[in-house]
Amino acid sequence: MRIRTAPRILAALAWLLGGTSLSYGGKCPNPGAIGTSRVIKLALPAGASPVSPQKGRHIKLKRKELILTIDDGPHPKYTPLILKALDEQCVKATFFMVGEMASGSPELVREVYRRGHTVATHTWGHPRSLPKLNRAVAIAEIERGIEAVGHALGKAKGVPAPAPFFRFPGLNESSALIKYLNKKGIIAFSVDIDPRDWGQKNADKLYRKTLKKIRRGGRGILLLHDIKPATAKMLPRLLKTLKKQGYTFVHMVPGAPVKPPLLLAKAKTAPKPPIRISFAEIGLRPSILAEDVRTDEAAGAKPPALYLPRPGNIRHPI
């Protein structure tokens, strides 16, 4: 697992923590919950050296400590189920949101924040080979994603911007884009434990696979997705089992509140997709929304209008 960091202390992006005291320090109403054992405030280390909880660099986790990260949402059907499971077990997570999805469900972006989770970004349209794009287009993908999530959060009291946390789609990074993020004061995250839930439709199989991966890893950053029904279905069971087996969850938050980034000044209206995308260059498949339509139709259900792909959307793989 690697986390890249900026050489300056959150110079451009941050998420203000005002109004979240209950979320971070409040008493859990469920005495049997696994809970959130502690909060890590990420102060930026010098340079852009890799960070690995498993190796004790920059983020030190004890045995059986996990950091839960959730990618690709928010999804109008499955994110509420994920939030319900996390609430029941008083677990706080970091949501790396896709701008396209945030623009489609801005109320869910705010709901994730209101429930005390960290709201981070994951590009506008999830191009899986971001480093292969023209540099200007790749940066536009990153900035439009930040703008989209920031625009949704803008209606939440006291929140000018997403957290300065970013994850590359497909975990495909480049030194040039890492350098760009560093200059913006953004921390880029990878993972330690990846059960590849995006490719699993059976909740029982995914539950067993995820437990096996966690036991093998022992500690670190766990990656799940809130766009998949199997993940939403198995998560309550997974959290209860992890509690019985002695695991705990740690929550990541920015180390210091600062002013919102200048690029969010452009986000007074909902952002548009980046232009000059070379679809052949990145081998895109239909978007998350389009894929979900096919899944629902195959099950004989008529999806709500919100699930239908909008004309002009960036198409992207899961």
pLDDT for 134-165, tens place per residue? Answer: 888 888 889 889 888 988 888 656 666 788 88
pLDDT at 31: 87
pLDDT at 27: 76
Q: How far apart are CA 150 and CA 270, in angstroms?
A: 10
Beta bridge partners of 3: 189
One-letter-per-residue 3-state SS of the chain:
CCEECCCCCCCCCCCCCCCCHHHHHCCCCCCCCCCEEEEEEECCCCCCCCCEHHHCECCCCCCCEEEEEEECCCCCCCHHHHHHHHHHHCCCCEEEECHHHHHHCHHHHHHHHHCCCEEEECCCCCCCCHHHCCHHHHHHHHHHHHHHHHHHHCCCCCCCCCCCEEECHHHCCCHHHHHHHHHHCCEEECCCECCCHHHCCCHHHHHHHHHHHHHHHCCEEEEEECCCHHHHHHHHHHHHHHHHCCCEEEEEEECCCCCCCHHHHHCCCCCCCCCCCCHHHHCCCCCHHHHHHHHHHHCCCCCCHHHCCCCCCCCCCC
In this prediction, residues 209-235 reach a mean pLDDT of 95
Q: List all residues 6 or more positions away from 160 whose beta carbon is below 8 Å from its beta carbon.
A: 16, 150, 153, 154, 259, 260, 264
pLDDT at 173: 84
Q: Is residue 318 over pLDDT 60?
A: no
Q: List all residues 6 or more positions away from 123 whose beta carbon is below 8 Å from its beta carbon.
A: 98, 99, 130, 141, 142, 144, 145, 168, 169
**pLDDT band with cut points at 50, 70 and 90 for residue 80:** very high
- For tokens 């990420």, the residue is 42
Higher pLDDT: 286 or 219? It is: 219
| CA nearest to 190, candidates 214, 156, 166, 211 | 166
Amino acid at 242: L
**pLDDT band with cut points at 50, 70 and 90 for residue 77:** very high
pLDDT at 272: 55
**pLDDT band with cut points at 50, 70 and 90 for residue 42:** confident
Least confident of 14-18, 111-115, 159-163, 217-221: 14-18
Higher pLDDT: 58 or 162? It is: 162
Q: How far apart are CA 161 and CA 155, in angstroms?
A: 11
Q: Is residue 308 over pLDDT 60?
A: no
pLDDT at 59: 76
224 with 235: CB under 8 angstroms?
yes
**pLDDT band with cut points at 50, 70 and 90 for residue 118:** very high
Q: How far apart are CA 17 and CA 3, in angstroms?
A: 22
In this prediction, residues 43-62 reach a mean pLDDT of 55
pLDDT at 156: 58
In this prediction, residues 43-56 reach a mean pLDDT of 47
Least confident of 32-41, 90-99, 134-143: 134-143
Q: How far apart are CA 98 and CA 46, in angstroms?
A: 29
Q: Is residue 241 over pLDDT 60?
A: yes
Higher pLDDT: 278 or 70? It is: 70
Higher pLDDT: 175 or 276? It is: 175
6 with 255: CB under 8 angstroms?
no
Q: How far apart are CA 211 and CA 216, in angstroms?
A: 9
Superfamily of domain 3-275: Glycoside hydrolase/deacetylase (3.20.20.370)
Pairing of strands 220-225, 248-254: unpaired
Q: Is residue 117 over pLDDT 80?
A: yes
Per-chain mean pLDDT for the chain: 74
Higher pLDDT: 276 or 192? It is: 192
Percentage above 90 pLDDT, the chain: 39
Q: Is residue 238 over pLDDT 60?
A: yes
- Domains of the chain: which residue ranges? 3-275
pLDDT for 254-301, tens place per residue? Answer: 876 544 554 444 444 555 544 444 333 333 333 433 333 334 444 454
